Structure 1
Amino acid sequence: MTDRHPDRFLIAALSAGLVILFVCALLWGETSLDITDAFRDLLAGRHSIGAIILGQLRLPRALLAVLIGGTLGLSGAVLQGYLRNPLADPGLLGVSGGAALGAVVTFYTGLSARVALALPAGGLAGALFAVAALIGLVGQGGTMALLLAGAALTSFFAAMTSLTLNLMPSPYASFEIMHWLMGSLADRTMTHVWLCLPGIVAGGTLMFSVRRTLDALTLGEDVAESLGFRSSGLFGAQMRIVVGAALAVGSCVAVSGAIGFVGLVVPHLLRPLTGYRPGRLLVPSFLGGAMLLLFADGLARVIPTSSELHVGVLTALAGAPLFFWRVIRLKRTVT
């Protein structure tokens, strides 16, 4: 009898690992915490120490790790499947750069110091501007237009960010910008969760809607069109991928800063376990990305350093050696 759900064991294993890491994220910290009592106090509205630590520090941070890590993993899987390139990355669209520029502008104008939510709001505004610019540039063009538009926006936003840093009158503000650009989940609250959640949900829904189209595109665009899967057009796969990935990734960068390698590494590792079918890779990539960021954030919290490490630095340090290893394996296979 043929298994109609070949990925159920993989998804179950990843889900179990995610639950374990999530519980560990709530337990990890300098202060020991009775989770049961803390949750009871939090739900009852009692302002005990455990409820404050759980509700204002650990729970928002763990939820953001799941949402952001999962979104980055999902976006990487979708873009790699659509572009048929295993090295495609969520930063490819230039939206991360737009969100970074929006946040940097709030530092430059001093809004971040006067308004509590100016920083994530500025990042979200920059991401939405990048989404609009990307849609306007790509139009009804194909994958090449998408790649060129993403490269152009990435270069433009990087240049504008560098210019803003160069003109920054305060060295302290420049220091704060560099820290934010490295990516972190520290000092985030439930307000940040609610701020990024709509974009993540809307973008994730659009990306999940192209699962079957991605599988059909492995046979070629002409064959996919003949099977009834539209790649171009206003409601085609490309527009849903562009808008979905841009909204979701932009919302993530707006609250966490730039966190690299998650969207590149996770689909790359899980692809052999899903039979190299891009549609089957989406759910595992979301779960795997959430696990990776939860684990990296836990390491950032427990590694003894004078100041807490940025999670974006840890993901980059973990991702680069993986690709060095893949290059070495590829050279051995070729020779």
Structure 2
Amino acid sequence: MNLSLTALMSWLGAFVAALIALLLLFGDVPLSGGMWLDALIHWKSIGAEIVWGIRLPRNLAAAGVGAMLGMSGALMQGLLRNPLAEPGLLGVSAGAGLGAAIAIVLGLGLLDFAVAGFALIGATMVAIILLVFVERFPQRQSLILLGVGLSALCGALMALVFNLSPSPVTTAEMLGWMMGSVENRNIWDVLMCLLGLAIAGGLSFRLAKGLRYLTLGEETARSMGVDMVRLTQVVVIGASLLAGLSVAVAGVIGFVGLAAPHFVRAMGVKDPYRLIAPSALTGAIIVLIADALVRMIPATGELRLGVVTSLVGAPLFALLAWRSAKSWMQD
């Protein structure tokens, strides 16, 4: 399927808006016709609190987190020219998860913004290490190796935090955070998503020439005037901000940043720069659908968003990879 970028963005945007509106109908508390009428007329009624104060922020947060992950994945794949690149490759997600785990084990989980703040601190520390490294070693392969190393180190430190957990309740809380959720999110979480998307979107305007020339090879891009150090730094800042904020808002949610750009490529978009915005909307769709399944699938315990994104998305991604492999063999 090949659509113009404008048409594709229009269809994806309409789909996101429709999902956000549709998911207002689903929740733990069933609403009667009278409660829906109150929600539309009386802004201080119980129905209004449920619909506009609980369900709408959750839907918007899910869309925002998915958009950040999708955009981050597109930036990473565009820079590294690697279809397996995703936000977690730099180690920023692991650093944010480590920060959140430390906040929880210190007993700060009940304080507003404490876990999110520690997650952002962890993500920022990893991003600073990456930027210092890129200044001296701008090669993309070196960046991948450093990211894998930082991710492994943060993972080991997170395991240590788990081992030092003072109680099973704290351990369960940390584990729940690591599996991701957008339940009980509020307008401040939505604003964090919008801030991250606005900053990263602004930075991405500077990447058009660099990402396009990079498809011809790094040496060719340099010969055409692309500053590889500056290009890598901008992508690292944007991808790190998006990945860190997504973990701060919803915990660790896998697969989305990896898969969203591939789904957009399947729709006919090949330009790595033009891929960024549609990938954000596709990521929003993936997380909204996954959150809908979290609400609708009956379970004795609460299903976690990150689990559903992997269980549902991985087979779809495998199918897409199989179809792509067949097309490559035919070429």
Query: Could you tell me the TM-score, scaled by structure 2's length?
Result: 0.90
Q: Say whether 1:121 aligns with 2:117.
A: yes
Equivalent in the alignment of 2:71: 74
Query: Given the alignment, which residue of 5, 8, 32 partners 1:7?
Result: 5
Equivalent in the alignment of 1:139: 135
Seen in structure 2, the aligned counterparts of structure 1 residues 231 and 297 have a Cα distance that, compared at 3 Å, is same
Equivalent in the alignment of 2:261: 267
Q: Say whether 1:95 aligns with 2:92.
A: yes
Equivalent in the alignment of 1:317: 311
Shift of 1:301: 0.9
Q: Say whether 1:285 aligns with 2:279.
A: yes
1:232-257 CA distance string (max 9 Å, x none): 2xxx2111000111011101101201
Mapped contact 2:97–2:122 kept (Cα < 8 A): yes
Seen in structure 2, the aligned counterparts of structure 1 residues 291 and 328 have a Cα distance that, compared at 3 Å, is closer
What is the CA–CA distance in structure 2 between the aligned matches of 1:37 and 1:212, rounded to whole Å?
52
Seen in structure 2, the aligned counterparts of structure 1 residues 36 and 224 have a Cα distance that, compared at 3 Å, is farther
Mapped contact 1:107–1:177 kept (Cα < 8 A): yes
- Per mean C-alpha deviation after superposition, the further-off stretch among 138-147 and 257-266 is 138-147
Mapped contact 2:263–2:282 kept (Cα < 8 A): no
Shift of 1:37: 5.3
- 3-state SS of paired residue (2:302): coil
Seen in structure 2, the aligned counterparts of structure 1 residues 275 and 63 have a Cα distance that, compared at 3 Å, is closer
Query: Any gaps of 5 or more consecutive residues in structure 1?
Result: none
Q: Say whether 1:32 aligns with 2:31.
A: yes
Query: Given the alignment, which residue of 208, 215, 220 partners 1:218?
Result: 215
Query: Given the alignment, which residue of 103, 106, 111 partners 1:106?
Result: 103
What RMSD over aligned residues (CA atoms) do the two structures have, in Å? 2.4
State the one-letter code of the partner of 2:39: A
What is the CA–CA distance in structure 1 between the aligned matches of 2:207 and 2:314, rounded to whole Å?
30
Equivalent in the alignment of 1:302: 296
Shift of 1:205: 2.4
1:42-64 CA distance string (max 9 Å, x none): xxxx4211221123211111111
Equivalent in the alignment of 1:189: 186
Mapped contact 1:71–1:204 kept (Cα < 8 A): no
Equivalent in the alignment of 1:58: 55
Mapped contact 1:200–1:251 kept (Cα < 8 A): no
- Per mean C-alpha deviation after superposition, the further-off stretch among 48-57 and 261-270 is 48-57
1:156-190 CA distance string (max 9 Å, x none): 10010000101112111001111110011011112
What is the CA–CA distance in structure 1 between the aligned matches of 2:151 and 2:299, rounded to whole Å?
33
Shift of 1:326: 4.6
Seen in structure 2, the aligned counterparts of structure 1 residues 208 and 49 have a Cα distance that, compared at 3 Å, is farther
Mapped contact 1:65–1:293 kept (Cα < 8 A): yes
Query: Given the alignment, which residue of 11, 14, 20 partners 1:22?
Result: 20
Aligned-pair identity (%): 41
What is the CA–CA distance in structure 2 between the aligned matches of 1:328 and 1:12, rounded to whole Å?
28
1:105-149 CA distance string (max 9 Å, x none): 111111224x23211121112111221122123324220221122
Seen in structure 2, the aligned counterparts of structure 1 residues 123 and 80 have a Cα distance that, compared at 3 Å, is same
Seen in structure 2, the aligned counterparts of structure 1 residues 275 and 327 have a Cα distance that, compared at 3 Å, is closer
State the one-letter code of the partner of 1:18: V
Query: Any gaps of 5 or more consecutive residues in structure 2?
Result: none
- Per mean C-alpha deviation after superposition, the further-off stretch among 90-99 and 134-143 is 134-143
Query: Given the alignment, which residue of 205, 209, 213 partners 2:206?
Result: 209
Seen in structure 2, the aligned counterparts of structure 1 residues 238 and 332 have a Cα distance that, compared at 3 Å, is closer
What is the CA–CA distance in structure 2 between the aligned matches of 1:106 and 1:253, rounded to whole Å?
13
Mapped contact 1:106–1:118 kept (Cα < 8 A): yes
- 3-state SS of paired residue (1:111): coil
Residues matched between the structures, number: 324
Seen in structure 2, the aligned counterparts of structure 1 residues 327 and 208 have a Cα distance that, compared at 3 Å, is same
- 3-state SS of paired residue (2:78): helix
What is the CA–CA distance in structure 2 between the aligned matches of 1:203 and 1:37, rounded to whole Å?
39
What is the CA–CA distance in structure 1 between the aligned matches of 2:216 and 2:15, rounded to whole Å?
34
Mapped contact 2:74–2:272 kept (Cα < 8 A): yes
Query: Could you tell me the TM-score, scaled by structure 1's length?
Result: 0.89
Shift of 1:305: 1.6
Shift of 1:27: 2.3
Shift of 1:333: 6.9
Seen in structure 2, the aligned counterparts of structure 1 residues 78 and 195 have a Cα distance that, compared at 3 Å, is closer
What is the CA–CA distance in structure 2 between the aligned matches of 1:12 and 1:332, rounded to whole Å?
28
